[in-house]
Amino acid sequence: MSGNVELLNDTLAKAKAENRAALIAYLPAGFPTVDGGIEAIKAVFDGGADVVEVGLPHSDPVLDGPVIQTADDIALKGGVKIADVLRTVREAHAATGKPVLVMTYWNPIDRYGIERFTAELAEAGGAGCILPDLPVEESGVWREHAEKHGLGTVFVVAPSSKDERLATITAAGSGFVYAASLMGVTGTRESVGASAEDLVRRTRATSAARRGLPVCVGLGVSNAVQAKEVAVFSDGVIVGSAFVKRMLDAADHAAGLVAVRELAAELAEGVRRAS
Protein backbone atom coordinates (compact mmCIF):
# COMPACT_ATOMS: atom_id res chain seq x y z
CA MET A 1 0.00 0.00 0.00
CA SER A 2 1.28 3.45 -0.89
CA GLY A 3 1.51 6.26 1.62
CA ASN A 4 -0.19 9.61 1.35
CA VAL A 5 2.50 12.12 0.37
CA GLU A 6 0.30 13.19 -2.56
CA LEU A 7 -2.54 13.92 -0.14
CA LEU A 8 -0.13 16.13 1.80
CA ASN A 9 0.97 17.86 -1.39
CA ASP A 10 -2.63 18.41 -2.48
CA THR A 11 -3.62 19.74 0.96
CA LEU A 12 -0.84 22.32 0.98
CA ALA A 13 -1.61 23.28 -2.63
CA LYS A 14 -5.29 23.71 -1.78
CA ALA A 15 -4.44 26.06 1.09
CA LYS A 16 -2.24 28.10 -1.24
CA ALA A 17 -5.03 28.27 -3.82
CA GLU A 18 -7.29 29.64 -1.08
CA ASN A 19 -4.69 32.36 -0.42
CA ARG A 20 -3.88 31.16 3.06
CA ALA A 21 -1.29 29.21 4.96
CA ALA A 22 -1.99 25.65 6.04
CA LEU A 23 -2.42 24.92 9.74
CA ILE A 24 -0.19 22.05 10.84
CA ALA A 25 -0.72 20.80 14.39
CA TYR A 26 1.48 18.56 16.52
CA LEU A 27 0.46 16.15 19.29
CA PRO A 28 2.44 13.20 20.65
CA ALA A 29 1.07 9.67 20.41
CA GLY A 30 0.10 8.07 23.69
CA PHE A 31 -0.69 11.37 25.41
CA PRO A 32 -2.48 11.26 27.76
CA THR A 33 -3.20 7.68 26.65
CA VAL A 34 -3.16 6.08 23.23
CA ASP A 35 -6.95 6.33 22.88
CA GLY A 36 -6.96 9.81 24.40
CA GLY A 37 -4.27 10.96 22.00
CA ILE A 38 -6.27 9.74 19.01
CA GLU A 39 -9.30 11.62 20.28
CA ALA A 40 -7.22 14.78 20.69
CA ILE A 41 -5.95 14.58 17.12
CA LYS A 42 -9.48 14.14 15.82
CA ALA A 43 -10.54 17.19 17.86
CA VAL A 44 -7.73 19.27 16.36
CA PHE A 45 -8.78 18.24 12.87
CA ASP A 46 -12.39 19.05 13.73
CA GLY A 47 -11.27 22.50 14.82
CA GLY A 48 -9.69 23.26 11.46
CA ALA A 49 -6.17 21.81 11.25
CA ASP A 50 -5.16 20.81 7.73
CA VAL A 51 -2.34 18.44 8.71
CA VAL A 52 -1.30 16.78 11.98
CA GLU A 53 2.15 15.66 13.04
CA VAL A 54 2.04 12.71 15.42
CA GLY A 55 5.04 12.76 17.72
CA LEU A 56 6.85 9.53 18.45
CA PRO A 57 7.75 9.99 22.13
CA HIS A 58 11.47 9.82 22.80
CA SER A 59 13.44 9.74 26.04
CA ASP A 60 16.20 12.05 24.79
CA PRO A 61 14.66 14.72 22.53
CA VAL A 62 16.91 17.41 21.08
CA LEU A 63 14.30 19.75 19.61
CA ASP A 64 11.49 19.51 22.16
CA GLY A 65 11.01 21.98 24.99
CA PRO A 66 9.68 21.27 28.50
CA VAL A 67 5.97 21.19 27.58
CA ILE A 68 6.37 18.47 24.95
CA GLN A 69 8.92 16.66 27.09
CA THR A 70 6.32 16.46 29.86
CA ALA A 71 3.78 14.94 27.47
CA ASP A 72 6.38 12.51 26.13
CA ASP A 73 7.21 11.41 29.67
CA ILE A 74 3.52 10.70 30.31
CA ALA A 75 3.30 8.68 27.10
CA LEU A 76 6.49 6.72 27.79
CA LYS A 77 5.43 5.94 31.37
CA GLY A 78 2.16 4.68 29.86
CA GLY A 79 4.16 2.22 27.78
CA VAL A 80 3.62 3.72 24.33
CA LYS A 81 5.25 1.73 21.52
CA ILE A 82 5.85 2.32 17.81
CA ALA A 83 2.83 0.10 17.14
CA ASP A 84 0.74 2.62 19.10
CA VAL A 85 2.14 5.48 17.03
CA LEU A 86 1.20 3.67 13.83
CA ARG A 87 -2.26 2.90 15.22
CA THR A 88 -2.66 6.59 16.04
CA VAL A 89 -1.78 7.52 12.46
CA ARG A 90 -4.13 4.88 11.06
CA GLU A 91 -7.16 5.84 13.13
CA ALA A 92 -6.64 9.61 12.79
CA HIS A 93 -6.35 9.38 9.02
CA ALA A 94 -9.20 6.89 8.64
CA ALA A 95 -11.54 9.09 10.69
CA THR A 96 -10.73 12.34 8.89
CA GLY A 97 -9.25 11.57 5.48
CA LYS A 98 -6.57 14.18 6.19
CA PRO A 99 -2.77 13.90 5.99
CA VAL A 100 -0.99 12.64 9.09
CA LEU A 101 2.79 12.71 9.49
CA VAL A 102 5.07 11.23 12.12
CA MET A 103 7.66 13.43 13.77
CA THR A 104 10.46 11.32 15.17
CA TYR A 105 14.12 11.23 16.01
CA TRP A 106 16.21 8.83 14.01
CA ASN A 107 17.20 6.26 16.63
CA PRO A 108 13.75 4.63 17.05
CA ILE A 109 13.41 4.13 13.28
CA ASP A 110 16.96 2.79 12.98
CA ARG A 111 16.28 0.24 15.71
CA TYR A 112 12.85 -0.70 14.33
CA GLY A 113 14.15 -1.09 10.77
CA ILE A 114 13.78 1.39 7.92
CA GLU A 115 11.96 -0.93 5.53
CA ARG A 116 9.64 -2.20 8.25
CA PHE A 117 8.82 1.29 9.49
CA THR A 118 8.19 2.84 6.07
CA ALA A 119 6.06 -0.11 4.93
CA GLU A 120 3.95 -0.03 8.10
CA LEU A 121 3.59 3.76 8.10
CA ALA A 122 2.39 3.64 4.48
CA GLU A 123 -0.02 0.83 5.31
CA ALA A 124 -1.40 2.97 8.14
CA GLY A 125 -2.13 5.78 5.69
CA GLY A 126 0.72 8.03 6.83
CA ALA A 127 1.92 10.89 4.64
CA GLY A 128 5.56 10.85 5.69
CA CYS A 129 8.02 11.77 8.41
CA ILE A 130 9.67 14.83 9.89
CA LEU A 131 13.21 13.87 10.91
CA PRO A 132 14.87 16.70 12.84
CA ASP A 133 18.13 14.92 13.65
CA LEU A 134 18.78 12.95 10.44
CA PRO A 135 21.59 14.63 8.47
CA VAL A 136 20.62 14.94 4.83
CA GLU A 137 23.98 13.41 3.82
CA GLU A 138 23.05 10.24 5.71
CA SER A 139 19.43 10.08 4.56
CA GLY A 140 19.80 8.25 1.24
CA VAL A 141 18.61 4.83 2.40
CA TRP A 142 15.69 6.36 4.29
CA ARG A 143 14.62 8.46 1.31
CA GLU A 144 14.84 5.48 -1.02
CA HIS A 145 12.43 3.48 1.14
CA ALA A 146 10.19 6.46 1.85
CA GLU A 147 9.82 7.24 -1.85
CA LYS A 148 9.13 3.59 -2.64
CA HIS A 149 6.26 3.63 -0.16
CA GLY A 150 4.81 7.01 -1.12
CA LEU A 151 6.00 8.88 1.98
CA GLY A 152 7.34 12.41 2.24
CA THR A 153 10.62 13.30 3.96
CA VAL A 154 10.52 16.64 5.78
CA PHE A 155 13.83 18.13 6.87
CA VAL A 156 14.30 20.98 9.36
CA VAL A 157 16.19 24.18 8.54
CA ALA A 158 17.20 26.88 11.03
CA PRO A 159 18.15 30.57 10.93
CA SER A 160 21.79 29.48 11.21
CA SER A 161 21.56 27.40 7.99
CA LYS A 162 23.76 28.80 5.22
CA ASP A 163 22.30 29.25 1.74
CA GLU A 164 24.33 26.34 0.35
CA ARG A 165 22.99 24.13 3.12
CA LEU A 166 19.42 25.23 2.44
CA ALA A 167 19.83 24.26 -1.21
CA THR A 168 21.08 20.79 -0.24
CA ILE A 169 18.21 20.21 2.16
CA THR A 170 15.44 21.43 -0.12
CA ALA A 171 16.81 19.31 -2.98
CA ALA A 172 16.56 16.18 -0.81
CA GLY A 173 13.28 16.89 0.97
CA SER A 174 9.68 16.34 -0.05
CA GLY A 175 6.28 17.36 1.28
CA PHE A 176 7.51 20.63 2.75
CA VAL A 177 10.47 22.22 4.49
CA TYR A 178 10.14 22.74 8.26
CA ALA A 179 11.61 26.18 8.97
CA ALA A 180 12.46 26.58 12.65
CA SER A 181 11.63 30.19 13.42
CA LEU A 182 14.47 30.61 15.88
CA MET A 183 17.38 28.81 17.46
CA GLY A 184 16.39 26.64 20.41
CA VAL A 185 13.72 24.13 21.34
CA THR A 186 9.96 24.02 20.92
CA GLY A 187 7.75 26.10 23.18
CA THR A 188 5.36 29.02 23.25
CA ARG A 189 6.92 32.48 23.04
CA GLU A 190 5.86 36.11 23.13
CA SER A 191 7.03 36.65 19.56
CA VAL A 192 8.07 34.37 16.73
CA GLY A 193 11.08 36.42 15.65
CA ALA A 194 12.04 38.38 12.56
CA SER A 195 14.57 35.71 11.62
CA ALA A 196 11.72 33.44 10.51
CA GLU A 197 10.75 35.64 7.57
CA ASP A 198 14.35 35.89 6.39
CA LEU A 199 14.76 32.11 6.67
CA VAL A 200 11.64 31.51 4.58
CA ARG A 201 12.86 34.00 1.97
CA ARG A 202 16.27 32.35 1.74
CA THR A 203 14.80 28.85 1.64
CA ARG A 204 12.41 29.81 -1.15
CA ALA A 205 15.35 31.20 -3.13
CA THR A 206 16.79 27.71 -3.50
CA SER A 207 16.08 25.92 -6.77
CA ALA A 208 14.01 23.11 -5.24
CA ALA A 209 11.81 25.50 -3.28
CA ARG A 210 11.29 27.63 -6.36
CA ARG A 211 9.80 24.55 -8.00
CA GLY A 212 7.08 24.58 -5.37
CA LEU A 213 8.30 22.83 -2.21
CA PRO A 214 6.32 24.64 0.51
CA VAL A 215 8.08 26.25 3.45
CA CYS A 216 6.23 25.94 6.77
CA VAL A 217 7.24 27.71 9.98
CA GLY A 218 7.25 26.23 13.46
CA LEU A 219 8.65 26.83 16.98
CA GLY A 220 7.05 29.54 19.05
CA VAL A 221 3.65 30.01 17.40
CA SER A 222 0.93 29.72 20.04
CA ASN A 223 -1.99 32.01 19.21
CA ALA A 224 -4.03 33.41 16.35
CA VAL A 225 -2.14 36.71 16.26
CA GLN A 226 1.20 34.96 15.79
CA ALA A 227 -0.34 32.55 13.29
CA LYS A 228 -1.58 35.46 11.21
CA GLU A 229 1.84 37.11 11.37
CA VAL A 230 3.61 33.97 10.15
CA ALA A 231 0.94 33.15 7.55
CA VAL A 232 1.77 36.35 5.69
CA PHE A 233 5.16 35.00 4.59
CA SER A 234 4.96 31.20 4.91
CA ASP A 235 3.07 28.32 3.30
CA GLY A 236 2.17 26.73 6.61
CA VAL A 237 2.07 27.47 10.33
CA ILE A 238 3.16 24.68 12.67
CA VAL A 239 1.86 24.65 16.25
CA GLY A 240 2.74 22.04 18.86
CA SER A 241 3.47 23.18 22.41
CA ALA A 242 0.32 25.33 22.61
CA PHE A 243 -1.87 22.29 21.88
CA VAL A 244 0.00 20.13 24.36
CA LYS A 245 -0.23 22.82 27.03
CA ARG A 246 -4.00 23.06 26.57
CA MET A 247 -4.22 19.32 27.23
CA LEU A 248 -1.90 19.50 30.24
CA ASP A 249 -3.76 22.44 31.79
CA ALA A 250 -7.25 21.02 31.32
CA ALA A 251 -9.23 19.87 34.34
CA ASP A 252 -9.98 16.53 32.67
CA HIS A 253 -9.69 14.82 29.30
CA ALA A 254 -13.07 16.03 28.03
CA ALA A 255 -12.11 19.61 28.83
CA GLY A 256 -8.80 19.07 27.08
CA LEU A 257 -10.55 17.98 23.89
CA VAL A 258 -12.70 21.10 23.95
CA ALA A 259 -9.62 23.25 24.56
CA VAL A 260 -7.58 21.89 21.65
CA ARG A 261 -10.57 22.04 19.30
CA GLU A 262 -11.10 25.69 20.22
CA LEU A 263 -7.41 26.52 19.78
CA ALA A 264 -7.39 24.86 16.36
CA ALA A 265 -10.39 26.96 15.34
CA GLU A 266 -8.68 30.17 16.51
CA LEU A 267 -5.45 29.31 14.69
CA ALA A 268 -7.34 28.25 11.55
CA GLU A 269 -8.87 31.71 11.45
CA GLY A 270 -5.45 33.25 11.99
CA VAL A 271 -3.82 31.54 8.99
CA ARG A 272 -6.44 32.90 6.61
CA ARG A 273 -4.39 35.87 5.50
CA ALA A 274 -5.66 38.75 3.36
CA SER A 275 -4.86 38.99 -0.34
Indicate which residues carry an active-site annotation.
53, 64
Beta carbons within 10 angstroms of residue 182's beta carbon: 17
* CA-closest candidate to residue 231, choices 270, 194, 205: 270
CB 101 within 8 A of CB 85: no
* CA-closest candidate to residue 221, choices 243, 198, 199, 248: 243
Helices marked H in the chain — which ranges?
5-17, 34-47, 66-77, 82-96, 106-112, 114-123, 140-148, 163-172, 195-204, 207-210, 224-231, 241-249, 253-270
**Sign of the dihedral defined by the CA atoms of residues 217, 223, 229, 235, in that order:** positive
* CA-closest candidate to residue 230, choices 221, 239, 243, 240: 221
* CA-closest candidate to residue 132, choices 29, 6, 218: 218
Beta carbons within 10 angstroms of residue 251's beta carbon: 8
Cα distances (angstroms) measured from residue 100 to each of 94, 113, 198, 243: 10, 21, 28, 16
